[in-house]
Amino acid sequence: MSRSLKVGSQAPKFKYNLADGSSDSLANYLGGKVLICFYPKDNTPGCTSEACSLSDSIKKFDKQKVKVFGISKDNELSHDKFIKKYNLKINLIPDPDLKIITKYGVLNEKGSARRTSFLIDESGKIINIWSKVNTKAHAEEVLKFLDEDK
């Protein structure tokens, strides 16, 4: 079910499992802004640059009341290793069955996520989409948009 999401669309809701066996969902974070960053694979150069950019700016995102999530098809174990290796401060959501990636229409021809980010407002509407992400400066791009959006 590939959809063409655009600014103003309602963000597809989703649930996901955590490494401890519990589950969480996007709905638990609405009421504040949510940044969802889809990326192809843990521990690759571009994905590492993007994750570190976002992680290094986590205090600025917190100040703006934005919860940051990265989503790839990697499993919980891969995410855990990636987080520990780079001391990441962002939440990584495993999507090995590609359900979330497919819901957001970002499945690429290689069977992983196309690098795309969605900024979702407090009510669950998409307020911006980055389909061309500057991996080294993505946090700056998003924070600049948030400052201009005030």
Residue range(s) defining the domain that contains residue 123: 30-148
What does the pLDDT look like over 27-58, one tens digit per residue?
Answer: 999 899 999 999 999 988 888 899 999 999 99
What does the pLDDT look like over 72-124, one tens digit per residue?
Answer: 999 989 999 999 999 999 999 999 999 999 999 999 999 999 999 999 999 99
Q: Does this model's pTM top 0.85?
A: yes
20 assigned to some structural domain: no
Tokens at 33, concatenated: 């802004």
The CATH number for 40's domain is 3.40.30.10
**Total domains in the fold of the chain:** 1
- Nearest alpha carbon to residue 67 among 118, 22, 15: 118
7 assigned to some structural domain: no
36 assigned to some structural domain: yes
12 assigned to some structural domain: no
| pLDDT band at residue 3 using 50, 70 and 90 as cut-offs | low
62 assigned to some structural domain: yes
Which residues are known to be catalytic? 47
- Residue 102 burial (C-beta neighbours within 10 Å; 0-12, 13-18, 19+): middle
41 assigned to some structural domain: yes
**According to the model, what pLDDT value does residue 68 have?**
96
